[in-house]
Homo-oligomer: A and B are copies of this chain.
Amino acid sequence: MSYARQMLDTYPRTVNVDASVLAAAIDAISDCAQACTADTDADLSEQNLAEMVKCIRLCLDCTDICTATGAVISRLAEYDPGATRPLLEACVAICRSCGDECELHAHYEHCRVCEQACRRCEQACRELLDALK
């Protein structure tokens, strides 16, 4: 069981969302933030740098948005929908853009792995948005 799930199961307050959906989103976001950081660095090691610039920029945005989103939804007891919903929508959008760009470079295995992390994160954030309705 992931630490995120263990932390939710020992939380002193009731969280008004399915714990497995929330834990899955936290874990997917955390993995995606790290994968995008690593992919930025891998991209910087490739020969055809000019073709990788867009991928680098999107990976940087994706890491930053995922890091904030993961922290905010880890504190979901005091749920502020006005901020949390658009933040999750931003996370879905950047994961889609970053996943699409990584797919274009999927002949690089690191971009293929990063694409998987982005797709899984996008899906997990969508499911959390649905569960928060």
Contacts and interface: CB of A to CB of B under 8 A. Distances in A.
Nearest to A60: B75
Nearest to A35: B3
B71 A37 contact: yes
B80 A10 contact: no
A42 interface: yes
Given A7-B110, A44-B57, A72 B64 contact: yes
A72 B94 CA distance: 11
Interface string A76-96: 011010111011011001101
Nearest to A94: B83
A13 to B, nearest CB: 5
Interface string A1-33: 011101110111100000000000010001101
B11 A110 contact: yes
A109 B3 CA distance: 12
A110 B41 contact: no
Contacts of A112: 10
Interface string A96-113: 110000000000111011
9 contacts: A7-B42, A10-B108, A34-B74, A37-B71, A41-B74, A58-B80, A61-B80, A64-B67, A64-B68
